[in-house]
Amino acid sequence: MPLRHVVEVSQFDRAGVEDLFARADAMRGIERPSTRQSGKILATIFYEPSTRTRLSFESAMHRLGGAVISTENAREFSSAIKGETVEDTIRMASGYADAIVLRHHEQGAAARAAAVSTVPIINAGDGPGEHPTQALLDLYTIRHELGRIDDLTIVLIGDLKYGRTARSLALLTRLSTGTRLIFVNPPETPMGADIREALAEAGVPFSEEPRLDLALPRADVVYQTRVQKERFASESDFLSAKGTYILGRAAYELLRPSAIVMHPLPRVDEIATEVDADSRSAYFRQAHNGVYVRMALLDMLLGDRS
């Protein structure tokens, strides 16, 4: 069935992901600006801050020849401040645009938006829920860097409780074969029971390893995350979790030469800048891949007019 909305990674099967990745590969080489989506309008409605997701979606739409309308601080500068619901905002915006990229602070907001929208809704992060387009670009980056998405050991580090990117990527690995996950997290931020259950049901092996020095040598992919201060109910829990796992030169000494280090960004101090120039540091390349994957997604949702 063709994609209508992108709300969660469970909407994708292996063939759909491979199709998307092939389209993203093709997007690397298209003329700029293309006319593929000329006349189409994308709305980006962000109730939470963003650098990469909003700008890369907007760059993607411009590169495809479409136009963009945007509210970058919708919590304050849209009619949400007057009490308008997400549903009503989306009912309006779906009359103004051909697709809507929505970031919201409440888990489930993208699904609520999709239920009332007459145009495609793309979930750009719903609170601590999911960030499906980030997971897609993450898996695309793994394929681009390592040449495969199967038979991987992926070490997920940091805030696995509130980190929606880690949650979505873990779920997306259900489409891989022979992939194992190792969770390295402070006690305050374990991977959620919902994700563990989904992985167990799909037969994806996962384990917890609190010792970074034991996990890193096993990794094909290290996926570091920021401890999400804004989502903690308790300041003391945040302070205990913060700074537990930092990747710097000493940690890189433990990595295989062929391993890659990813991070959805933004980072605070969990990857030291001293390792940015190491060829295994893939996080900036990963962020750039977001443009191609999002071009491919927009093209799939809006239809190719060229």
Candidates 78-86, 185-193, 214-222, 262-270: pick the segment binding ligand CP (CB under 6 A).
262-270
Complex with ligand CP: residue 99 or 287, whichever CB lies closer: 287
- Tell me how far, at minimum, the Cβ of 151 lies from ligand CP, in Å: 26
> Is residue 123 helix, strand or coil?
strand
Among 264, 270, 293, 299, binds ligand CP (CB under 6 A): 264
**Unique residue bearing structure tokens 């793309």:** 122
We find the least distance from the C-beta atom of residue 99 to ligand CP, in angstroms, to be 17
Mask for 129-148, x = binds ligand CP (CB under 6 A): --x--x--------------
Measured from the Cβ of residue 273, the count of other Cβ atoms closer than 10 Å reads 10
In the residue annotation, 164 being an active-site residue is answered as no
- Comparison of 241 and 262: residue with beta carbon closer to ligand CP: 262
Any catalytic annotation for residue 82? Answer: yes
Site for ligand CP in 86-125 (CB under 6 A): 125
The one-letter amino acid at 77: F
Would you state the torsion angle of the CA atoms of residues 228, 230, 233, 239, taken in this order, to the nearest 10 degrees? 60
Whether the Cβ atoms of residue 280 and residue 253 lie closer than 8 Å to each other: no
Binding track, positions 16-55, relative to ligand CP; x by CB under 6 A: ----------------------------------xxxx--
- Is 53 considered catalytic here? yes
Number of C-beta neighbours around residue 243 at 10 A: 12
Q: Give CA angle at 136 (134, 139), nearest 5°.
A: 110
CB atoms within 10 A of CB 176: 19
Of 51 and 73, the one with the shorter C-beta distance to ligand CP is 51
Cβ atoms of 107 and 89 within 8 Å: the answer is no
Q: Is 131 a catalytic residue?
A: yes
Q: How far is CA 104 from the centre of its chain?
A: 14
- Contact residues for ligand CP, defined by CB under 6 A: 50-53, 125, 131, 134, 264-266
- The residues assigned a catalytic role are 52-53, 82, 103, 131
